[in-house]
């Protein structure tokens, strides 16, 4: 009789306990996670099966995802006995809805159950995240392909979970767009808002209006900070840009559908139309030819949110040819995108040229309106009738409220949540996407190149799309917006998206009650490691010090903090480089007079973890005056 030694029994106990306590770091956080005893290991003999033809695509996608890093060559087959089993419910489980799922992993295998294929797809994403980070590799990798035993019940809080990508300011290739959609689908986002037109480029082929892409898709080459660039010169070449053919659009739409992502196209009107006017200047009030803007300063912004344009970028609401033009555009756009919505922008529309235009003045008199702002309401109602004729619903930014919109119109609240609250109280459906929480083009810390404002991951994570006193039935969900004035490449788009896109995935999917920043941090850090393997870029700005200053009793006072808990913060003001032997921050500090320079760095467990931040006294003084 072979009696195991005490040492081997103790080792078995440690391994058993370790496997039972293996951390589960899923994003977004599921509704209910119940860890169980044991593990399941995927091998080359593992079988994958599905119980209905509608489940085949998800099962096949799972096999493909597993095969690349493991090299196993697994196949999905019809049946009910797979070690990894995808089952559609014969009788729907009302708790799960259309996108929910259950995942039951034991030492025998994994069973994922859902009412609809979308639920199986999201169950698959959780399955992949339960496996070691090497599962994200794009080539064969070495790992123990083991996942912990667990029972998960999961379904989304909101039906609309979106990310917008602006491809006007910088053109992103079809393959880049597909890669970005694939990444967000893994996080259970189900809506991709595609910002296809603006002042800086028209990106979608309209066959009945060929100059939109022949002219509107191209601009002069410029470098430097957006808004500070040199104006185009007459006759200058326009090599920068690009557009999507209608065949490209169909390919991307199909790719997204396969990942349960709905694409919502945006054609931004009546403002932000300089690229369209470059192609067809007769649609403006002045009829003056313009060029596609390369990122010059073509407006002056005042502190109260108002502005003045130096160049015309608005369509003429009094010209019937404008509506003929839009009918052609939306006829072709509606045919390409099967979702119910077309986003028509409506934001930041400068009305100064309307106020001076005889045709607009005559229209105002005809409509018996006194304020030029009300012309936008007229314009939007005309646009909505065009969309309705195509079987589409109007969706726009919160400015569309200002001129009056029909009860069927849906609104995206971006200037804070005020517009969303007003729209919901009026009975409109609303997507909450306030810049203060969801504009992921904003700086993530003081090391990022400067842009309009700062938005830290912790603040994004704190967002609740349902304001107090608002009926939740009118809040469709939320969305992150990635404007690309300062984002020329997909790698940098990823850097700006993550980890804020991970935080907002939790906000839009997970129960409000489960929100806990301290518990999110280790999940985020696990996804840093997974993103490294997947070759997806991200920012580590969450580790950077937060620098705050104030004036108290004539003194400049410094306060330091961090998003990630339990970091040590070290600083110097004596022109030396800070390290773990420098002054450790413990409480607010009165800074001495004189031309000092602050240098700050964060450490964890004795190792530097954040970026070095350097700030002059003048910069600190300005920060105190905010």
408-420: pLDDT as tens digits: 899 999 999 999 9
pLDDT given at position 21: 55
The residues pairing with 41 across neighbouring beta strands, listed in sequence order, are 146
The answer to the question of residue 9 being in a domain is no
0.85 cut: is pTM over it? yes
The residues pairing with 88 across neighbouring beta strands, listed in sequence order, are 114
Instruction: Tell me the per-residue pLDDT of 602-626, one tens digit each, with 9 for 90 and over.
Output: 999 999 999 999 999 999 999 997 6
User: Strand 262-269 to strand 191-195: parallel, antiparallel, or no bridges (unpaired)?
Assistant: parallel
CA-nearest of 158, 120, 102, 127 to 46 is: 127
User: Strand 597-604 to strand 240-241: parallel, antiparallel, or no bridges (unpaired)?
Assistant: unpaired
The residues pairing with 560 across neighbouring beta strands, listed in sequence order, are 547
The answer to the question of residue 77 being in a domain is yes
Among 94, 125, 154, give the residue marking a domain's end: 154
pLDDT given at position 11: 38
108 and 190 in a single domain? The answer is no
The DSSP H or E segment spanning 275 is: helix 274-279
CATH number at residue 464: 3.20.20.80
pLDDT given at position 158: 98
> What is the end-to-end Cα distance of the chain in Å, rounded?
78
Active-site position among 136, 348, 399, 563: 348
CB atoms within 10 A of CB 302: 8
348 is catalytic: yes
Report the percentage of the chain scoring pLDDT > 70. Answer: 96
Q: Which residues contact 64 (CB under 8 A, 6 or more apart)?
A: none
192 and 133 in a single domain? The answer is no
Q: In this structure, what token pair is assigned to residue 78?
A: 């019809």
The answer to the question of residue 7 being in a domain is no
Q: Which residues contact 120 (CB under 8 A, 6 or more apart)?
A: 55, 58, 59, 86, 88, 101, 112, 114
CATH number at residue 574: 2.60.40
Cα–Cα dist 338/207, whole Å:
19
pLDDT given at position 16: 44
Cα–Cα dist 230/129, whole Å:
47
Cα–Cα dist 179/210, whole Å:
28
Which residue spans within 52-100 are E strands per DSSP? Answer: 76-78, 84-88
Among 507, 541, 575, give the residue marking a domain's end: 541
107 and 131 in a single domain? The answer is yes
The DSSP H or E segment spanning 396 is: strand 393-397
CB atoms within 10 A of CB 20: 14
pLDDT given at position 12: 41
User: What is the mean pLDDT of the segment spanning 176-192?
Assistant: 98
Residue 174 has pLDDT above 90, yes or no: yes
97 and 166 in a single domain? The answer is no
Q: Whats the size of the chain, residue-wise?
A: 626
User: What is the mean pLDDT of the segment spanning 68-90?
Assistant: 97
Residue 405 banded pLDDT, cuts 50, 70, 90: confident
DSSP state of 186: T
The answer to the question of residue 8 being in a domain is no
Torsion of CA 225, 532, 27, 90, to 10 degrees: 120
445 and 550 in a single domain? The answer is no
CA-nearest of 266, 264, 270, 216 to 383 is: 270
The answer to the question of residue 2 being in a domain is no
Residue 575 has pLDDT above 80, yes or no: yes
Q: Which residues contact 190 (CB under 8 A, 6 or more apart)?
A: 99, 118, 159, 160, 161, 162, 260, 261, 262
Residue 22 has pLDDT above 80, yes or no: no
Q: Categorise residue 201: left if φ over 0, alpha if ψ from -120 to 50, beta otherwise.
A: left
473 and 590 in a single domain? The answer is no
Residue 304 banded pLDDT, cuts 50, 70, 90: confident
Residue 282 has pLDDT above 70, yes or no: yes
Residue 18 has pLDDT above 50, yes or no: no
Domains identified in the chain, total number:
3
**Token pair 């009926």 is at which residue?**
471
Instruction: Assign 549 to helix, strand or coil.
Output: strand
User: Using omega within 30 degrees of 0 as the cis cutoff, is the peptide bond preceding 297 cis?
Assistant: no
Cα–Cα dist 568/577, whole Å:
16
Among 120, 154, 188, give the residue marking a domain's end: 154
The DSSP H or E segment spanning 528 is: helix 517-534
Residue 181 has pLDDT above 80, yes or no: yes
User: Using omega within 30 degrees of 0 as the cis cutoff, is the peptide bond preceding 28 cis?
Assistant: yes
278 and 318 in a single domain? The answer is yes
User: What is the mean pLDDT of the segment spanning 586-604?
Assistant: 96
pLDDT given at position 404: 74
User: Strand 146-154 to strand 101-106: parallel, antiparallel, or no bridges (unpaired)?
Assistant: antiparallel
CATH number at residue 81: 3.30.379.10
Q: In this structure, what token pair is assigned to residue 268?
A: 């931004």
282 and 411 in a single domain? The answer is yes
The answer to the question of residue 6 being in a domain is no
Cα–Cα dist 165/550, whole Å:
37
Which residue range forms the structural domain that includes residue 614? 544-624
124 and 203 in a single domain? The answer is no
**Token pair 């794009």 is at which residue?**
138
User: What is the mean pLDDT of the segment spanning 535-540?
Assistant: 98
Report the percentage of the chain scoring pLDDT > 90. Answer: 92
CB 134 within 8 A of CB 65: no
Instruction: Tell me the per-residue pLDDT of 498-518, one tens digit each, with 9 for 90 and over.
Output: 999 999 999 999 999 999 999
Instruction: Tell me the per-residue pLDDT of 44-59, one tens digit each, with 9 for 90 and over.
Output: 999 999 999 999 999 9
Instruction: Tell me the per-residue pLDDT of 382-397, one tens digit each, with 9 for 90 and over.
Output: 999 999 999 999 999 9
User: What is the mean pLDDT of the segment spanning 133-150?
Assistant: 97
For residues 68-94, b (16+ Cβ closer than 10 Å) or e, as one string?
ebbebebebeeeeebbbbbbbeeeebe
DSSP state of 576: S
The residues pairing with 32 across neighbouring beta strands, listed in sequence order, are 153
Helices 56-70, 117-130: axis angle to 10 degrees equals: 20
pLDDT given at position 13: 41
Average pLDDT, the chain: 95
Q: Which of 30-34, 173-177, 583-587, 620-624 has the lowest average pLDDT?
A: 620-624
CB 433 within 8 A of CB 481: yes
59 and 144 in a single domain? The answer is yes
Q: Which residues contact 322 (CB under 8 A, 6 or more apart)?
A: 270, 283, 315, 316
CB 435 within 8 A of CB 416: yes
487 and 578 in a single domain? The answer is no
CA-nearest of 152, 106, 127, 124 to 60 is: 124
CA-nearest of 528, 536, 494, 515 to 609 is: 528
Q: In this structure, what token pair is assigned to residue 318?
A: 């009094």
358 and 414 in a single domain? The answer is yes
Cα–Cα dist 293/313, whole Å:
10
Residue 231 has pLDDT above 60, yes or no: yes
């Amino acid at each position: 009789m072979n009696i195991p030694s005490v040492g081997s029994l103790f080792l078995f106990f440690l391994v058993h306990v370790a496997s039972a306590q293996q951390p589960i770091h899923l994003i977004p956080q599921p509704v209910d996670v119940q860890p169980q005893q044991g593990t399941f290991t995927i091998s080359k003999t593992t079988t994958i099966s599905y119980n209905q033809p509608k489940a085949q695509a998800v099962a096949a996608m799972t096999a493909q995802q597993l095969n690349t890093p493991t090299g196993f060559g697994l196949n999905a087959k019809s049946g009910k006995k797979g070690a990894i089993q995808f089952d559609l419910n014969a009788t729907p489980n009302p708790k799960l809805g259309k996108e929910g799922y259950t995942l039951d992993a034991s030492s025998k295998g994994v069973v994922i159950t859902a009412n609809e294929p979308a639920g199986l797809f999201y169950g698959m994403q959780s399955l992949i995240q339960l496996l070691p980070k090497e599962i994200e590799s794009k080539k064969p990798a070495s790992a123990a392909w083991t996942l912990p035993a667990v029972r998960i019940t999961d379904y989304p809080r909101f039906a609309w979970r979106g990310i917008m990508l602006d491809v006007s300011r910088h053109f992103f290739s079809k393959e880049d767009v597909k890669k970005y959609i694939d990444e967000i689908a893994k996080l259970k986002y189900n809506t991709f808002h595609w910002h296809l037109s603006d002042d800086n480029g028209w990106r979608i082929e309209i066959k009945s209006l060929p100059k939109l892409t022949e002219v509107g898709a191209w601009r002069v080459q410029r470098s430097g900070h957006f808004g500070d660039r040199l104006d185009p010169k007459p006759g200058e070449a326009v090599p920068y840009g690009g557009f999507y053919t209608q065949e490209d659009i169909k390919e991307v739409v199909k790719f997204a559908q396969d990942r349960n992502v709905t694409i919502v196209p945006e054609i931004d009107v009546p403002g932000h139309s300089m690229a369209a006017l470059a192609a067809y200047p007769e649609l403006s009030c002045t009829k003056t030819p313009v060029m596609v803007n390369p990122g010059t300063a073509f407006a002056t912004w005042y502190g109260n949110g108002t502005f003045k344009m130096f160049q015309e970028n608005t369509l003429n609401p009094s010209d019937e040819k404008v509506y003929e033009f839009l009918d052609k555009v939306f006829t072709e756009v509606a045919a390409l995108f099967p979702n119910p919505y077309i986003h028509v922008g409506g934001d930041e529309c400068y009305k100064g040229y309307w106020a001076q235009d005889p045709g607009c003045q005559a229209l105002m008199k005809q409509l018996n309106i006194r304020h030029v702002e009300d012309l936008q309401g007229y314009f939007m109602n005309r646009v909505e009738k065009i969309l309705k004729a195509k079987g589409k619903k109007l969706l726009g930014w919160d400015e569309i409220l200002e001129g009056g919109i029909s009860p069927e119109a849906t609104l995206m609240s971006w200037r804070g949540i005020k517009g969303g609250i007003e729209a919901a109280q009026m009975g409109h459906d609303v997507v909450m996407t306030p810049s203060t929480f969801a504009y992921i083009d904003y700086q993530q810390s003081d090391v990022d190149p400067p842009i309009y404002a700062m938005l830290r991951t912790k603040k994004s994570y704190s967002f609740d799309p349902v304001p107090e006193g608002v009926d939740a039935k009118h809040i469709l969900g939320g969305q992150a917006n990635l404007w690309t004035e300062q984002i020329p490449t997909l790698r940098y788009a990823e850097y700006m998206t993550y980890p804020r896109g991970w935080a907002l995935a939790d906000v839009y999917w997970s129960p409000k009650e489960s929100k806990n920043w301290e518990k999110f941090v280790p999940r985020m850090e696990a996804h840093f490691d997974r993103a490294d393997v997947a070759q997806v870029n991200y920012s580590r700005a969450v580790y950077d010090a937060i620098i705050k200053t104030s004036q108290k009793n004539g003194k400049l006072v410094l306060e330091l903090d961090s998003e990630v808990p339990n970091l040590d913060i070290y600083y110097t003001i004596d022109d030396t480089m800070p390290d773990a032997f420098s002054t450790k921050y413990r409480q607010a500090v009165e800074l001495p007079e004189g031309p000092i320079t602050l240098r700050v760095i964060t450490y964890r467990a004795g190792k530097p973890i954040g970026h070095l931040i350097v700030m002059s006294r003048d910069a600190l003084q300005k920060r105190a005056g905010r």
